[in-house]
């Protein structure tokens, strides 16, 4: 492992470990490297908890590594505002890291380039766009929530050949086979499984269970 893509892919694999625990925050991973050697690594583990960059610094400290002059790979632009935690861009500046590789810009209006500007204003070299497509794919639900204010929804249903899912008088039972009834299993996304118990024809609503 000695290329920019290799280290960013490592950061992306770390980021995915936060799946299901960090929402509505994005999944983020970070890796600190010097001369091709990983000094520390981390990921955002829980909503409200330390961000990936801070976890990576903590890991480097446990390893007894000096990160001054090292490089960091992070899957999302470091934040530059105070929220549940202080800005990660500030922590990066104070750490002495000399160069930061970023997979994708944070679409959050509170960041949206501000993190990169904070780093460059402090004299830290910033390179963005490494594995950008993979990073954007990983956080599609976050991006949609931030940019469109809508949830990421995956729906599973069964219907008859004429496009019906239930009888108006609720007399119909199962359309599909029992083997199709368990929740959908998909490794790439967080899925909240909700079965349509009964369609309410007069309201256009669905009762979920």
| Residue numbers annotated as active site | 53
The DSSP bridge pattern shows strands 196-200 and 205-208 to be: antiparallel
């Amino acid at each position: 492992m000695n290329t920019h893509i290799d280290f960013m892919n490592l950061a992306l694999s770390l980021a995915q470990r936060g799946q299901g625990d960090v929402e509505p925050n994005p999944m983020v991973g970070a890796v600190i490297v010097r001369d091709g050697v990983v000094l520390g690594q981390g990921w955002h583990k829980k909503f409200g908890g330390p961000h990936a960059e801070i976890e990576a610094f903590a890991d480097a400290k446990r390893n007894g590594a000096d990160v001054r002059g090292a490089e960091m790979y992070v899957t999302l632009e470091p934040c530059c505002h105070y929220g549940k935690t202080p800005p990660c861009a500030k922590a990066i500046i104070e750490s002495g890291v000399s160069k930061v590789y970023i997979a994708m810009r944070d679409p959050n209006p509170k960041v949206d380039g501000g993190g990169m500007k904070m780093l460059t204003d402090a004299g830290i070299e910033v390179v963005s766009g490494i594995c950008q497509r993979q990073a954007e794919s990983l956080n599609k639900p976050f991006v949609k929530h931030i940019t469109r204010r809508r949830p990421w929804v995956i729906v599973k249903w069964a219907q008859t050949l004429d496009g019906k899912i239930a009888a108006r008088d609720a007399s119909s039972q199962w359309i599909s086979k029992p083997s199709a009834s368990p929740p959908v299993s998909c490794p790439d996304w967080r899925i909240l499984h909700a079965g349509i118990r009964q369609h309410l024809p007069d309201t256009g609503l669905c009762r979920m269970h």
